[in-house]
Amino acid sequence: MTLTAHCRIGTRFIRDAIADLSQGGLYLKTREPAREGTPVRVALALPHDDGPKFCTLVGCVARVDRDPRGRALGLGVSFDEAQTGLYDRTTLSAFIARVQPTLARV
């Protein structure tokens, strides 16, 4: 299963694949340059039997992975529960519980 995140990282808007997803955060496969601590807003369409469930998650860049030349390879994003609405947290939790056995790497 491939999930795509529509993100605002700082003031820039991107769309990239998610490599890992949990209740606490995600790993985004992106070449978008960002610094740790940069605010992130992520919009997801999570597959569900009766159509996609949408959620918006808020957090910040927790980790930046770079290649030997210093170019961005991916970002670890940590969600901030206090800034993410209950509906969005519940939607994400339900999705993770439903796909848990296959979610090791999305």
Domain boundaries, the chain: 3-102
| Model-wide pTM > 0.85 | yes
Residue 40 has pLDDT above 90, yes or no: yes
Contacts of 62 (CB under 8 A, 6+ apart): 25, 36, 76, 77, 78
Nearest in space to 64 (alpha carbons), one of 42, 37, 84, 83: 37
Distance between CA atoms of residues 29 and 16, nearest Å: 6
Select 3-102's CATH number: 2.40.10.220, 2.30.38.10, 2.40.100.10, 3.40.50.300: 2.40.10.220
Residue 91 pLDDT level (bands cut at 50, 70, 90): very high
For residue 1, what pLDDT is reported?
Answer: 66
pLDDT at 92: 94
